[in-house]
């Protein structure tokens, strides 16, 4: 999903969001240990940064491209939230 966000964001000129999404993709493919709380925090912070950046960039003129990217971001949030073990 992060790679899809990278692709769509880059295509529509959201270069900072594309870069952050790609960094997230690389981290999850090469370093992520889901049992490590710090790693889960890194993923969560990347998602939050993407939400802020894309929210600011797409305000008002998002159109279909913005909807596609927003849908991918929601999928990423749902996937991350669903796979997170309970800390209670």
Q: What is the pLDDT of residues 18-72, one digit of tens each?
A: 999 999 999 999 998 988 999 988 988 888 888 888 777 666 555 666 677 777 7
pTM for the whole structure: 0.69
Give pLDDT, residue 78.
74
Instruction: Decide which of 80 and 14 is more confident.
Output: 14
Give φ, ψ of 85 to 5 degrees.
Answer: -65, 150
Q: What is the distance of C-alpha 62 from the center of its chain? A: 17
Instruction: Decide which of 73 and 38 is more confident.
Output: 38
């Amino acid at each position: 999903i992060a790679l899809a966000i990278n692709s769509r964001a880059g295509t529509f000129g959201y270069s900072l969001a594309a870069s952050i999404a790609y960094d997230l993709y690389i981290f999850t493919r090469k370093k992520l240990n889901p049992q490590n709380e710090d790693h889960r925090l890194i993923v969560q912070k990347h998602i939050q940064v993407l939400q802020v950046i894309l929210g600011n960039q797409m305000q008002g003129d998002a159109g279909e491209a913005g909807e596609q990217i927003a849908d991918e971001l929601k999928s990423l949030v749902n996937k991350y939230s669903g796979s997170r073990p309970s800390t209670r």
